Amino acid sequence: MKKSLTKQKDSLARLEQSRGFTLVEMVVVIGIIMMVMAIIVGNLDTAKSQSRDRARVSDIANLSLALESYYARNKSYPDTLDDLVTKGIIPVIPRGPKGEIYKYVSLNTTIGVGNVPCHTYHLGAVLESSKNEYLDDDSDFDSSSADSGNKYPKQCGGARFNGADTDPTPTYDLKSKY
C-alpha cells in the first residue's frame, strides 16, 4: 500500500512539473506560425495577380475576335472600341479586373485624303507582372510614334502606345494580322 501511495505521489509530482509550456516554447511556436502565414499570404497575392493578368489576356483575345468580326463586315477596323458596341458586335466593352481601360489604336499604312479605312490595329493591356508567360506570345509592337520610321503613319483613332514587355508597365499586346 505504501508503494502504491509513493507511485501515485511520483506520478502527481511529474504531472505538476509538465503542466504547461514555457514562455520560450510559446514564442518559438508563434514565430513558426507567423513565418508560415507570411509565406501563404505572399503566395496568395501572387496568385491573385496572375488571375487578374489571365483575365486581361482573355479580354484582349475576345476584343481581337470582335475586331476581326468588325473588319469582316466593314473592310476596315473601327476608329474606337466603342464602335464595336455601336455596330452590335459586342454588348459592352470589357474593362480590366481593376477597372482599367484597355489600349487600342487603329492604323493605316498610307496617308490619304478623306476617309481612308484603317487596315490594322494595336490592342493591349498593362499586366501586373513582367514575369508572365503571356508576354512570350504577344506582338511587342510599338505604335507610339508616327515618324517616318513607323510603318503605320496614319492614325484613325485611339491612342498610340508601346507594347514592350518591360517594367514598370509590361504590356500584353496584339496587332492585327494584316
Task: Answer whether 0.85 is exceeded by the pTM.
Answer: no
Q: Where are the alpha helices (DSSP H) in 75-89?
A: 82-86
Residue 31, CA atoms < 13 Å, CB-side half-sphere = 6
Least confident segment among 29-43, 48-62, 133-147: 133-147
pLDDT digits (tens, 9 = 90+) for 84-121: 999 999 999 999 999 999 999 988 776 655 566 788 89
Q: What's the pLDDT tens digit per position in 42-80?
A: 778 888 989 999 999 999 999 999 999 999 999 989 999
Arithmetic mean of pLDDT, 144-165 = 74
Nearest-10 Cα torsion for 83, 80, 103, 47:
-10
Q: Which three cell numbers stand for residue 75?
A: 473592310
Q: Give me the pLDDT at residue 143, please.
A: 83
Q: What are the residue boundaries of the structural domains of the chain, listed by start?
A: 2-175
